[in-house]
Structure 1
Amino acid sequence: MKRSILFIAILLIVVAMTLSGQLYFDSRSAHRNPALSAFTPRRTFEMGIQTDVAGYNSAFALGDILQETWVIDLNEATERAGDGGFRAGATANLGTHGILRLGGVGFGGYTGLRSVAELQVPREFLELLSEGNIDDRSGTGNAIIEAHLEAGIRTAFNWREWTFGINAAPFVPIAFSGEGGFVFDLTTTDEGFNASAGIDTRVFSSVDLVALQDGAMPDLGEAISNSGFKVDLGVIRRDVAGLPQWGVGLTDITIVRATATSEFRVTGSYSASTENAIQAFLDDEDPLVLEAEDIDVKFVGDAAERIRLAPGVSGFYRFGLPFVDVIPHAHVVFSETLGAINPGITVAGNRFPTNLLYFGIGRERPVWRATAGLRIPLYVMELNLQIESTSPRILGVFGPDGLAAALDVRLGF
């Protein structure tokens, strides 16, 4: 019995000594400030992979959607969506990196795939569904698609009490939406009505989206030859312990615009109509005729659309407390479509055993996220797994209106 207790005690001590107390920043932080890549317990070499996916909407609680029988209350959905109307979308990000450190300088490469798609439906369409309207009515919304691939170099180095970081990479536009979006129309007659809603938007790309839709790998040679070039810049002031105290960054600064060489049309529709509803009711027939058209991508023609990424400015400050760090942060993105101020705050443990957990709430373009994360911060391997509640509205994360998951794995020595 005494030997067992002694063995367990020794094992706990070894594990505690093996666990890294290094400050945690999530997998999206190296984009907001590349200087953060210098702060890792792996002092010689590190490689890693990061991925996260998210889905969200503004009108329906996730608990209602996941029920075996989903009863839709259109009045409640309209009120829940608010004046901004219905928003639904998804984001997906995938990244890899490898960095070799010699002295105070780290140099390596990274890849990143970032994508967001969002449908914005005006409130009047929801009111049309929930309240009805005897007058003919039509309107439009937005369908926003942004996706690009980048691959380049990442470096970070120390100078006195400062740390500087740079990402420099060519980028290829996978899909950027142009004109068009969501369209709805209602026409009433003496015998019934005709209603339709759908997506019809132009999308510019440097790759063959039709091939992607069919599950084939498109030729990337032409896409690479028409790629743009971007940089991320970051600077961090370290404290007396050598940990980041505060920092600022510039993100997605386009030096050379990419050229999207192809134009595609993305369409999909849903319609409902009634004709002679009274007679159909008397004949015990369904008076409502529903038709749906799946999302389809068609090649329109050659294009020469110049694409730049949405630039941004980021900043953070770390308050080091016993056992936890409190880190308020913000990222301002300048974009005509999904630009916004993205504030947030993270609370992360800084020593064993609190460094196994971290929590946060903030806006990550274009959605709010409430995060709970589990961390295994070993020196040779670090594993971070986080689950997030998502919503276009900050109060919606307590609903929740959507979910996200992220995985961050890092290896090295």
Structure 2
Amino acid sequence: MVKLIQKFLQLASAAAVLGFASPAFAVTDIMWWHAMSGELGRQLEKLAADFNASQSEYRVVPSYKGNYTEAVTAAIFAFRSRSQPAIVQVNEIATATMMAARGAIYPVFELMRDEAEAFSPAAYLPAVTGYYADAAGNMLSFPFNVSTPILYYNRDMFRAAGLDPDVAPKTWPELGEAAKRLRAQGMACGFTTSWPSWINVENFSAYHDLPISTEANGFNGLDAVLDFNNPVVVRHIAQLAEWQATKVFDYGGRATSAEPRFQNGDCGIFIGSSATRADILKNSKFEVGYGMLPYWPDVKGAPQNTIIGGATLWVLRDRPREEYRGVAKFFGFLSKPEVQAAWHQNTGYLPITRAAFDLTRAQGFYDRNPGTAISIEQITLKPPTVNSRGLRLGSFVLIRDVIDDELEQAFAGKKTAQAAMDSAVERGNRLLRQFQRANPDR
């Protein structure tokens, strides 16, 4: 009987130890709301899976929430009901809006410091850090998918039209002539673009060293005033509208809606995000060529450098402390050169760190895949000026919609280019003043 009691006590003691120890082996889930679908979404899920497999304490759980606007809106509503994720992916033009939500965000530089995780802005490309840092150089969010617009062209159709398949159009006049040749060859349209405002107003302005607004494109204060209705931008929009009439240029819609027109062979040239490369290569049945964004050669200083697009990862407050430890570990994982290099090579997004760029080059990726370094060369073509380092304007998600609306009016022949750009500036400035009034302490 004594032996039985001793055995029972030993088993009870072992069970108690296991009972006390079991919470230490519990995995902490970290919700990550994002806006990536298709091939990019699969690459994102692979990142999370690779991190989860690299350790046993944390599990990043990606959840697709629609486009960028839908993802941010969902996070805002979730925050009000205390069901927000730890991480949300937010597009670059919403930076000023996120900065205004001070009580809701956990600045990344504070998170990494609090969790004693290595994090140095100097390790990241200057074109990236400048966009997502405060005036003191502190990183507010974690750079994730960084892109810039480049030119893609159908090398097979270039050959058929008697164009050199090894030479991309460098200027807008050259692009217009190539597009006319493609039309004459029977293509439904010469060229099209995605993201109308981002490419034809925002990046166009940066590439020609022209301002979008006063106050250093909003970096110097909320009292910025839009002023992109200048003669160079107006002439460019007028030329696109003229080409629209003969389908040399053919407007394909907002956001990414024009992308399939290039992939299915309707249009011979496409200007879109460098990160579209993954989907283009997956879905196109022809040989793809790459080129830099075209410029008008008579504009002094052009080409300058393009600006970034894409999105960044913001950390939301009021989550358990153990989740933040996992978020910091995850960001450290994402910063590893080999992880960043693979992400860059598989998607077309820029590497966010110098080490990832150097590793990709050392691996021979750029030599094996001509044209894949164009996005980096273009964004670092010249040292950024006050006009070409990016935008930090409140409510710019809404302002971009306004610009797209006015561009559509011009392309449809309902307004002149000047009238459309004047209206875009006027309507956009009303939104800026509303944002300024709503944030008087910034």
- TM-score by shorter chain over 0.5: no
The structure carrying a bigger strand percent of its residues is 1
TM-score by length of 2: 0.23
TM-score by length of 1: 0.24
* Larger RCO of the pair (alpha carbons < 8 Å, separation 6+): 2
The structure carrying a bigger helix percent of its residues is 2
